[in-house]
Amino acid sequence: MTTTDPNELRNAIRALLESKKIRTFIGWEQGSNAFRSRPLFLRSPDEVGNEIFSPACTPCLVRMIIEDLRYPLDKPDDKRPLGIALRGCDDKGVIELIKDRRIKREEVMIVGVDCPGTVDWTKAKKLIKDRKISTDDIVNGRLIWKDRGIAIATPSGEISLEREKILMSKCLDCEGHTPRIYDVLIGKEDTKRIPAEPPKEVRELEARSPDEKYEFWDDVFSRCIRCYACRNICTYCHCEECAVDPTTLAIAADSIAADKANRPEWVGRDSTDSSNGFYLITRAYHGTGRCISCEECDRACPMRLPLRLLNRKVRKDAKELFDYDAGKSVEDKPLLSETCDNDPGDFIW
Amino acid sequence: MTQTEGHAPKVIAFLCNWCSYAGADLAGTSRIQYPPNIRIIRVMCSARVSPQFVLKAFLEGADGVLLSGCHIGDCHYLKGNLSARRKFASFVNLLQYVGIEPQRFQMSWVSASEGGKFADVVTKFVNELSGLGPQKKLVVGDRLDEIISSEVPS
Amino acid sequence: MVMKALSQKFLPKARLQEFKGKLLELGELFAPVQEGDVAAIRRIESPGEIVDDFDQTQNNLRAVIEPQNEVILTFKDTLKPSLTEQLPAENKRIVLWCRPCDARALSPLDDNFDDALLPDPYYLRRRKSTTIIGLGCEKPFPFCFCGSVGGNPFSTDNLDVMMTRIKDGYIFEPLTKRGKDLEAQLASLFSEITVEQKDFLLEIQGKSRTLLPRTAPNPEMVHANLGKLFDSPLWKKWGDKCIGCGICTLLCPTCWCFDITDVETRGKGYRIRTWDSCQFPLFTLHTSGHNPRPTKASRVRQRVMHKYRYHPVNYAGRIACVGCGRCTELCPEDIDLIEILNDIMKAGEQQ
Amino acid sequence: MNKNPYLPDLATVVDVRQETGGDRSVRTLTVEFDDKEVASSFTYKPGQLAMLSVFGKGESMISITSSPTMGKALQFSVMRMGRVTSILHYLNKGEKIGVRGPYGNGFPVGEWKGKNLIFIGGGIGSAPLRSAYSYALHNRKDYADISIIYGARTSSDIVFRDELRAIAESGGAKVELSIDKPESDWDGFVGFVAMNVKRLAPKPDNAIVITCGPVMLIKTVIKELMDLHFKPSEIYTTLENKMKCGVGKCGRCNIGPVLVCKNGPVFTVEQIGQLPSDL
């Protein structure tokens, strides 16, 4: 069960829009079926009403703040903050954006919500098949939190679904239902903070021999189609220019020919396992001290590659090597911008 | 891994301008013998080297990558080598995690006066690589050749 | 419309492994393989890899006929080069269990690659040497809407053979001469079908259409409305939600856009052809810095316009969408093609 | 099966001419195919394009600057812009590039017989224009008055400067040059090309206009021409877009349903008016 009352949430959003303190409110709307939702942009009080807050609210909305940096949602001269609904896991993304100095705290108006976990469509699909849930219920039903679990509410009653079989894996390891930073909190603050353990799978992989590890990852790399969905949905991939398509800075109206001709080509456009490996390893590495394990990459991947295993690894290393948690506090300095005399160095001759 | 006999590993060595490059130079002028397998790329500081450089070297067919800079405390830019150490501490773990043998990437601190140490580092590194055989895990040219050879008329 | 089959045979379940093994002997075999939670069409090395009970595959026929990586030519030396042309071998290829929508998608691809003036040898060599064995969808998937775009779960378009899963085995129906040849080569595995089986087949074919979960607006109406909606605000509405990843196009069975780039490594050069997507900002970026499609809205518009407006304008009204639903299902932000089409209808009526 | 359309033919650079200086300097390359058969089968129309390869860097679609009336060698005027054109720029005699084509529709020079031709261009836009006016001057008796109105940022940015001067002197065409900002030894018109068009006020009777240059130039020139009562169907221009395949297949150069590489690059203003504003 969530302590966030939908009416209270609606009133809070409407009040924000009425006060004209924010330019746009980013929330969720019901998606293509009961299990899915998509970002919703509300710009005036009379648009309020389509927003939802349910177990279908899986997408992390922080990405929309990053999208707004490059493709402004509103007129560029509108300097009012963006309103956004954040859960206990998403706020770490905002904290990292502030730490990386992409946004200032006052540029976002955070409406905290109490999220007991959202559904993973890939898992839901399996459950639909196993439980023989009817097409009508899939299309027209609506998900609700029920006691400790989840149910589909339909005109003919509720179908309860096993929590373990349908929630995102990050939700099964939830570190806290409500955000650490917020301007308004709708619901009861979750004071328990349970730091997630790195998944067993990471430890199991670490224990394998180099060739066994490579066999596992080569299979993953070879299936990547280089759509860059993992990068484009990521809360730490907010660079103006990416190593895999470095043009944004070189190709501008006033850039000189030599800069354009000499821009680096780190990796070809082929999707062979080698080039994909270059891309995925580089991306994972850039998450050192910045990845918040939101597992959006894992969810976005159309080939359903286990990308969380890469990101959980760098998160685990940041913790073990430097006792560093991404997304813990806006007061922390970015991990790789600092150094310390006592950093580990036993791998150096 | 058979056929390691007679394999001459190709090594890319990123050496910092102020210490390790001078150390390599000293090894040369002092006529200290070390394996000729390294291709040196001089960089201004070990911190200039990004983990992408290492991956790119593997992608282009390097068997091993060496990164060498000034000893801690001796950095020409005060904190460059500290920064490199921090960057690569986690990168080394990640490389091993995806199945690249730990011997394929090595960091060292070699000062301008340590010609002997430079030769030792290179010798030890190349010996370990020779034992491993060629790096075939991340070579893009091999993969493109495989695409071509998969189109053999039956 | 279900085309009349040339003949119908029954493949008992007990002979399925043998069937797969024989196909593997007859040529390069591509079939669905289970990879974690999802299935994908891959080159098969041994019959055991093929999965029998699979959902919609993540990739589709395009991965076989216009693969993501293709080497066009190799060269040595840059300024005094010697070139070697690389073409796909014209080996016999067999695709087992392609869904009917994915096979229908070859028609727009044919429109693009098989033109009389400059036929594309890479596409055509593979296209012409591939025998396609379809698998009817007795139970469509949650995002399917083939019925709204001229298809159906048992469409036989572009298939050489249609197979249908029934109790204890499969019905095997050759539809072309190639299919008939295949039947002859595999004759020992089949038995004649019974009247009950025939009736059962008709029943599941009829029932499957009623099971399609989603319906989209009439494509001709969408086409007509799009003619006046180039500047509609609906594109920004959907563009704002988009993250520009390109999944909707890279895994679309009717998308064909590609890039040509050079890779130089170890003293050898490769000119490669790789999939590309109109959802990437670099797709149309000029070297001058000018980009004719600079916003996400303009790129979302290009995708929908191409499928429902530009392709039909150029190719006798053929919509470049087969209703497989991948673009919607795989979209991380759930950008729903059908919702966009509904918006187009609404905006069209208002104008 | 037909020839592989993606396979370039090797051609050797036989001459290099520096046209303008600066960061975006222009050079004209003269190339000859290595294979005699290829050379004789490569027939083209003014305004068509060819895909040039620098092996290891990629391909770039470039207008053929020469006219088919000029013999078998092909000429390309290349502005240094990015990866491929920077290498094209530094080629020496004897070095090789790949060439495939010709692509696109070209100018309908046959339909223009008996008409007054007015060529209006700026910057590197003179590359396709030169192909067309050279063709017209070679077949001089087929056409009535020919005039060339061309402008550049400075006098040293004028592409084909000597050639244009020679044309003016020979009397084959009237040549009106302009530069954007005053220079001490410049006695011609100073101002943008569109302003020069307004000043010269060409007459629309029995005339065809061919205009090419930066987008802003094309837009402003077309506006002036409209004021002078030229018909949109009698104004031709060439469009450009990023291209990869050159043969209408890779899907990126479209403007609405039209592919610039296959259906273009030459369009009348009337045709452009019917396309969505996806430029």
3-state DSSP of D117-152: EEEEEEHHHHHHHHHHHHHHHHCHHHCCCEEEEEEE
Give C188's contacts (C-beta < 8 A, 6+ positions apart).
none
Tell me if B153 and C89 make a contact (CB, 8 A cut-off). yes
| Å between C318 CA and nearest CA of chain D | 13
Question: Any idea which residue has 């929309």 for tokens?
Answer: A64
Nearest residue to B151 via CA among D165, C184, C85, C315: C85
Tokens representing D153 are 């940022």
> What residues form DSSP beta bridges with D51?
D61, D100
Residue B6: per-residue pLDDT: 64
Which tens digit of pLDDT belongs to each residue from B70-102? 999 999 999 999 999 999 999 999 999 999 999
The least confident of A244-248, D11-15, D172-176 is A244-248
Whether the Cβ atoms of residue D174 and residue D108 lie closer than 8 Å to each other: no
Q: What is the DSSP string of D58-126?
A: EEEEEE--S-GGG-S-EEEEEE--SHHHHHHHT--TT-EEEEEEEES----TTTTTTSEEEEEEEGGGH
Of C83, C284, C310, the CB nearest to D252: C284
| Å between B40 CA and nearest CA of chain A | 18
Residue A210: per-residue pLDDT: 95
Nearest residue to C191 via CA among C168, C208, C211: C168
Tell me if D252 and C79 make a contact (CB, 8 A cut-off). no
Averaged over A276-303, what is the pLDDT?
95
Q: How does strand D9-18 pair with strand D189-190?
A: unpaired
Q: Which positions in chain A touch C245 (Cβ < 8 Å)?
A: 227-229, 231-233, 300
Whether the Cβ atoms of residue D153 and residue D180 lie closer than 8 Å to each other: yes
Which element (helix H / strand E) includes D13? strand D9-18
Number of domains, chain B: 1
Nearest residue to A283 via CA among A231, A229, A336: A231
Q: Whole-angstrom Cα distance, residue C272 to residue B96? A: 30
Q: Which positions in chain A touch C248 (Cβ < 8 Å)?
A: none
Instruction: State the burial class of residue C8 (Cβ atoms within 10 Å of its Cβ: 0-12, 13-18, 19+).
Output: middle
Tell me if C92 and B154 make a contact (CB, 8 A cut-off). yes
Whether the Cβ atoms of residue A1 and residue A116 lie closer than 8 Å to each other: yes
| Chain A to chain B Cβ contacts (< 8 Å) | 126
Q: Is residue B5 part of a domain?
A: no
Whether the CB of B142 is below 8 Å from some CB of chain C: the reply is no
The least confident of A23-37, A254-268, D42-56, D231-245 is A254-268
Upper half-sphere CA count for residue D53 (Cβ side, 13 Å): 33
ipTM of the complex: 0.93
Mean pLDDT of chain D: 92
Mean pLDDT of chain A: 93
**What single letter denotes the amino acid at residue C240?**
D
Tell me if C268 and B141 make a contact (CB, 8 A cut-off). yes
Q: Whole-angstrom Cα distance, residue B85 to residue A348? A: 8
Q: Whole-angstrom Cα distance, residue D157 to residue D160? A: 9
| Local structure of residue A250 (DSSP, 8 states) | T
Tokens representing D68 are 């088919």
* Chains interfacing with D (3 or more CB pairs < 8 Å): A, C
| Å between D31 CA and nearest CA of chain C | 13
b/e code A263-301 from CB counts within 10 Å (16+ = b): bebbbbbbbbbbbbbbbbbbbbbbbbbbbbbbbbbbbbb
Q: Is residue B3 part of a domain?
A: no
Kindly give the confidence (pLDDT) of every residue in chain C, 351 residues in length, as a single tens digit, with 9 standing for 90 and above. 444 556 899 999 999 999 999 999 999 999 999 999 999 999 999 999 999 999 999 999 999 999 999 999 999 988 889 999 999 999 999 999 999 999 999 999 999 999 888 899 999 999 999 999 999 999 999 999 999 999 999 999 999 999 999 989 999 999 999 999 999 999 999 999 999 999 999 999 999 999 999 999 999 999 999 999 999 999 999 999 999 999 999 999 999 999 999 999 998 999 999 999 999 999 999 988 889 999 999 999 999 999 999 999 999 999 999 999 999 999 999 999 999 999 999 999 988
> What residues form DSSP beta bridges with C258?
C275
Tell me if A274 and B140 make a contact (CB, 8 A cut-off). yes
CATH number at residue B15: 3.40.50
Question: Any idea which residue has 């569109």 for tokens?
Answer: D194
Which tens digit of pLDDT belongs to each residue from D36-61? 999 999 999 999 999 999 999 999 99
Of A135, A233, A255, the CB nearest to C211: A135
**Length of chain A measured in residues:** 349
Nearest residue to A225 via CA among C99, C248, C36: C248
How open is the CA angle D243-A67-A289, to the nearest 5 degrees? 110
Averaged over B18-46, what is the pLDDT?
94
Helix, strand, coil shares, percent, chain D, to 5: 30, 30, 40
Tokens representing A215 are 């066999």
Q: Is the pLDDT assigned to residue A160 strictly greater than 80?
A: yes
Residue B3: per-residue pLDDT: 41
Nearest residue to D101 via CA among D76, D64, D46: D64
Tell me if A273 and B108 make a contact (CB, 8 A cut-off). no
Q: Which positions in chain A touch B88 (Cβ < 8 Å)?
A: 347
| Å between C190 CA and nearest CA of chain A | 31
Q: Which positions in chain D touch A247 (Cβ < 8 Å)?
A: none
Q: Is residue B6 part of a domain?
A: no
Q: Whole-angstrom Cα distance, residue C255 to residue C234? A: 23
Q: Whole-angstrom Cα distance, residue C311 to residue D74? A: 35
Overall CATH class of domain D116-238? alpha beta
Q: Whole-angstrom Cα distance, residue D211 to residue D272? A: 13
Averaged over A113-136, what is the pLDDT?
93
What residues make up the domain containing B34?
11-149
Give the torsion sign (CA, B97, B98, B101, B107).
negative
Give the torsion sign (CA, A194, A195, A199, A203).
negative
> What residues form DSSP beta bridges with C272?
C71, C261
Of the pLDDT bands very low, low, confident and very high (cuts 50, 70, 90), residue A258 is confident
Whether the CB of B132 is below 8 Å from some CB of chain A: the reply is no
Q: Whole-angstrom Cα distance, residue B89 to residue B107? A: 10
Residue C5: per-residue pLDDT: 54
Give the torsion sign (CA, A282, A284, A288, A289).
positive
Question: Any idea which residue has 């190719």 for tokens?
Answer: C315
How open is the CA angle D42-D94-D104, to the nearest 5 degrees? 25
Nearest residue to D172 via CA among D184, D181, D163: D163
Q: Tell me, which fold does domain D9-103 have in CATH? A: Elongation Factor Tu (Ef-tu); domain 3 (2.40.30)
Q: Which positions in chain C touch D103 (Cβ < 8 Å)?
A: none
Of B97, B101, B138, the CB nearest to A313: B97
CATH number 2.10.240.10 given to D239-279: yes
Q: Is the pLDDT assigned to residue B2 strictly greater than 60?
A: no
| Å between C86 CA and nearest CA of chain B | 7
Q: Whole-angstrom Cα distance, residue D147 to residue D161? A: 15
Tell me if A274 and B59 make a contact (CB, 8 A cut-off). yes
D in contact with B (at least 3 C-beta pairs within 8 A): no
Q: How does strand C28-35 pair with strand C93-98?
A: parallel
Sort residue D265 into left (φ over 0), alpha (ψ -120 to 50) or beta. alpha
Question: Any idea which residue has 């009698």 for tokens?
Answer: D234
Which tens digit of pLDDT belongs to each residue from D168-227? 999 889 999 999 999 998 989 999 999 999 999 999 999 999 999 988 899 999 999 999
Residue C351: per-residue pLDDT: 80
Q: Which positions in chain C touch B61 (Cβ < 8 Å)?
A: 265-266
**CB within 8 Å of chain A, chain C residues 220-279:** 239-241, 243-247, 250-251, 259, 261, 263, 272, 274-277
Q: Whole-angstrom Cα distance, residue D190 to residue C296? A: 41
Q: Is residue B121 part of a domain?
A: yes
Q: Which positions in chain B touch C26 (Cβ < 8 Å)?
A: none
Please tell me if the domain spanning D9-103 has the same topology as the one spanning D239-279: no
**CB within 8 Å of chain A, chain B residues 28-67:** 51-52, 55-56, 59
The domain locations on chain D are: 9-103, 116-238, 239-279
Q: Whole-angstrom Cα distance, residue B90 to residue A283? A: 13
> What residues form DSSP beta bridges with A184?
A111
Q: Is the pLDDT assigned to residue A41 strictly greater than 50?
A: yes
Of the pLDDT bands very low, low, confident and very high (cuts 50, 70, 90), residue B1 is very low
Which pTM does this prediction carry? 0.94
Q: Is residue B31 part of a domain?
A: yes
Residue of chain B with shortest Cα separation from A289:
B90
Q: Which of A259, A260, A262 to mutate to test the interface with D (most CBs of D within 10 A)?
A: A260
Tell me if D86 and A261 make a contact (CB, 8 A cut-off). yes
| Å between B153 CA and nearest CA of chain C | 5
Of C38, C287, C332, the CB nearest to A300: C332
* Chains interfacing with A (3 or more CB pairs < 8 Å): B, C, D
Tokens representing D265 are 């690059």
Which tens digit of pLDDT belongs to each residue from A219-235? 999 999 999 999 999 99
| Local structure of residue D185 (DSSP, 8 states) | T
